[in-house]
């Protein structure tokens, strides 16, 4: 009976996002396996975290591929990205919350690559005259991560319906809060 590695990581991400000090034992029990088995699949806590980061990065990268960031207008690409991102929102929330842990060079490099693609998307939007230029691409990228994290958290807390998530994030990011469009 092979352990579902992906499922274990998903549980771990959910727990660690809520409480970074969650013990290996708690993670194991949440995943429905014993601590011994958890250690058989992940050499240790560090290895688990690293696997989590790697999978998160891989999934985020796939979401970006699926979103075809280079096609169409930047706003549409951003909407697609947010939609594609939804299934891995927990993972992303973990990455955004815990990216301070990045100490491995590879993981760092992997994240930098993703970040560069996001930043480039915002820059493209600005160059095409679609996005305002008084907000830096770097900030917009950080804001996107923050909103995705906040969204995942809000869903967890039941403050936002999961179905509304992309809409909530995309509309806020693209259109802001204001109802009327006059300055």
Interacting residue ranges for its own copies, rule: CB under 8 A: 18-21, 75, 78, 96-98, 100-101, 122, 125-126, 129-136, 138-140, 142-143, 145-147, 149-151, 153-154, 159-160, 164, 167-168, 171-183
30 binds DNA (CB under 7 A): no
Single out the segment in contact with DNA by CB under 7 A; choices: 41-49, 56-64, 90-98, 136-144. Answer: 41-49
Helix axes 5-18, 137-157, angle to 10 degrees: 100
> How many C-beta neighbours within 10 Å does residue 94 have?
29
Q: Phi and psi dihedrals of 134, rounded to 5? A: -85, 0
Q: How many residues bind DNA (CB under 7 A)?
A: 19
Q: What is the torsional sign of CA 67, 49, 90, 149?
A: negative
Closest to its own copies by CB, 3 or 143 = 143
Q: Which of 37, 120, 142, 153 binds DNA (CB under 7 A)?
A: 37
Q: Is there a contact between 156 and 100 (Cβ–Cβ < 8 Å)?
A: no
């Amino acid at each position: 009976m092979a352990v579902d590695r992906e499922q274990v990581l998903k549980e771990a991400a959910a727990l660690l996002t809520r409480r970074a000090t969650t013990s290996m034992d708690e993670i194991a029990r949440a995943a429905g396996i014993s601590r011994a088995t958890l250690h058989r699949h992940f050499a240790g806590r560090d290895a688990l975290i690293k696997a989590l980061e790697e999978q998160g990065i891989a999934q985020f990268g796939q979401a970006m591929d699926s979103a075809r960031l280079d096609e169409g207008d930047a706003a549409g690409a951003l909407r697609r990205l947010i939609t594609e991102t939804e299934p891995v929102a927990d993972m992303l929330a973990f990455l955004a919350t815990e990216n301070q842990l990045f100490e491995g060079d590879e993981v760092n490099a992997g994240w930098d690559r993703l970040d560069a693609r996001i930043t480039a998307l915002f820059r493209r939007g600005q160059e095409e005259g679609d996005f305002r230029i008084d907000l830096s691409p770097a900030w917009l990228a950080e804001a996107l991560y923050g909103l995705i994290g906040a969204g995942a958290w809000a869903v967890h807390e039941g403050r936002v319906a999961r179905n509304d998530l992309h809409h909530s994030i995309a509309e806020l990011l693209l259109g802001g809060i204001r109802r009327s469009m006059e300055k």
